[in-house]
Amino acid sequence: MPEFGPEELRALDRAHVWHPYGPMPGRSDPLVVESASGVRLRLAEEVHGQRELVDGMSSWWSAVHGYNHPVLNEAATAQLGRMSHVMFGGLTHEPAVRLAARLVEITPEPLRHVFLCDSGSVSVEVAVKMCLQYWRSLGRPAKQRLLTWRGGYHGDTWQPMSVCDPEGGMHELWQGVLPRQLFAEAPPADYEESYARGLRDLIARHADELAAVIVEPVVQGAGGMRFHSPEYLRVLRQACDEHGVLLVFDEIATGFGRTGTLFAAGHADVAPDVMCLGKALTGGYLTMAATLCSSKVAEGISRGEVPVLAHGPTFMGNPLAAAVACASIDLLLGQDWQREVRRLETGLRDGLAEAADLPGVKDVRVLGGIGVVQLDHDVDMAAATAAAVREGVWLRPFRDLVYTMPPYVTDDEDLARVCRAVGAAAAAG
Ligand SMILES: *Cc1c(COP(=O)(O)O)cnc(C)c1O
């Protein structure tokens, strides 16, 4: 029997528990989830006539196989019976080694070495540390700034915050306190030679102080759900090579098939020097991320005055998370996942087309398993969320965006329902 009823839970939650981007004490009433299975969240009580909600968010884009999946459950319980965790300093184990080898196998060719971290933000911290240390080791310590384009999101810890969009984003408060990075304008959706030229110029002009360019390839997620031409990745790769700057792709949101290719870099056939993975890495089961780098970067670091990467989280390489990540990758690659993502893409295009005619809708866009309705005003979160719940769907709009990134296992009927809910939320918000 549960110890607390939903009412009690909410009171304690409000008084004591921080939520993402939340005030304290809390002001909104989060829905209480009792369990989750397949694509459905089961609530502890009925809300707007619904006890179960189809999850249109994949738990922040991570639960690509849905919840309570027998294969992932089996991987977790089998590993639990062996060990849930051991320290990674001086010890190693099969789940972590297997995962690292698998990631090297499925990511672009030059990426050979894997640093396992406990969250996406930490993997970006590690990526930045790798790049800065690489140049320091080569006797170029002045190369310590980062370049990115506006509209990005790379996480909530310090270095990642410094490359998030500095305006209107979530970290505006810290302008002047964060390391000052270089920003290009946000990338246009289609290829524009003048924009590409601007990127090249910026990299050329600041090459002496630039350690790396860091971007989300093809899709900018939490910074605004914007898509851009993959051609820009080629421009970045070429300019970085020409001017001696490292290139980092943050594929935390785009990795593992979400945009229709296994990694978004695949749309342009471009390989970065450093790549961050997270979110769907464990199929949404446990917190784990990874920073991959090329041998050039690893060897550079190893030639330095301090020839080690001084980073080692307590829960580095967590065996439970690694075992589930291996199972999740096998599950994904063991099926025709491209067909499933294409099916989602078609369903989202069909299902969201009508939303374009709603008053207050500025743009509707779809790529792979991502469907976005952009409004011409900031969404009324409470009204939009309630409208989606009435349709039996969980959505979490932000700023002027109502969007969905459903689990790949969402069937056509549930997908149509998700699309109706996106429309209802856009109309209500
Ligand atoms: C979510 C996200 C992060 C941060 O990952 P956390 O696990 O939340 O720390 C970084 N970069 C991108 C592109 C993301 O979508």
pLDDT, position 130: 98
pLDDT, position 346: 98
- CA 263 to ligand 1 center in whole angstroms: 15
> What number of H helices and E strands is found in the chain?
13, 16
Mean residue pLDDT of the chain comes to: 96
- 222 ligand 1 Cβ < 6 A: yes
Q: Which of 137, 222, 211, 151 is nearest to 181 (CA)?
A: 211
In percent, the amount of the chain with pLDDT more than 90 equals 95
Give the atom of ligand 1 at the shortest distance from the alpha carbon of 250: 13
Res. 54: pLDDT tops 70: yes
Tokens of 382: 């409470």
Q: Has 411 been annotated as catalytic?
A: no
Mean pLDDT value across residues 291-315: 96
- 237 ligand 1 Cβ < 6 A: no
Say whether 244 sits in a helix, a strand or coil: coil
Per-residue confidence band for 3, with pLDDT thresholds at 50, 70 and 90: confident
pLDDT, position 169: 66
Sheet holding 401-404, edge to edge: 361-367, 370-375, 401-404
SS3 string of 110-144?
A: CEEEEEEECCHHHHHHHHHHHHHHHHHHCCCCCCC
Catalytic residue among 55, 118, 165, 250: 250
Per-residue confidence band for 351, with pLDDT thresholds at 50, 70 and 90: very high
pLDDT, position 429: 84
Per-residue confidence band for 2, with pLDDT thresholds at 50, 70 and 90: low
Res. 134: pLDDT tops 60: yes
Mean pLDDT value across residues 52-73: 98
Res. 256: pLDDT tops 80: yes
Burial zone of 333 (CB within 10 Å; 0-12 exposed, 13-18 middle, 19+ buried): middle
Q: What is the pLDDT of residues 227-237, one digit of tens each?
A: 999 999 999 99
Beta strand pairing call for 145-149 and 361-367: unpaired
Per-residue confidence band for 321, with pLDDT thresholds at 50, 70 and 90: very high
Say whether 19 sits in a helix, a strand or coil: coil
Residue 83 phi/psi, 5-degree rounding, is: -170, 140
| Protein residue closest via CA to atom 15 of ligand 1 | 253
Mutate to test the pocket of ligand 1, among 154, 158, 219 (most ligand atoms within 8 A of CB): 154
Q: Has 13 been annotated as catalytic?
A: no
Burial zone of 270 (CB within 10 Å; 0-12 exposed, 13-18 middle, 19+ buried): buried
pLDDT, position 176: 86
CB atoms within 10 A of CB 346: 13
Residue whose structure tokens are 């001696």: 244
- 252 ligand 1 Cβ < 6 A: yes
**In this predicted model, which residue has the larger pLDDT, 175 or 104?**
104
Give the atom of ligand 1 at the shortest distance from the alpha carbon of 220: 13
Under DSSP, the state recorded for 306 is S
Q: How far apart are CA 381 and CA 379, in angstroms?
A: 6
Res. 322: pLDDT tops 70: yes
Res. 167: pLDDT tops 90: no
- Amino acid at site 388: A
Res. 326: pLDDT tops 80: yes
Rg of the chain (C-alpha set) = 22
Res. 315: pLDDT tops 90: yes
| Protein residue closest via CA to atom 7 of ligand 1 | 120
Catalytic residue among 13, 118, 134, 279: 279
Mutate to test the pocket of ligand 1, among 21, 153, 165 (most ligand atoms within 8 A of CB): 153
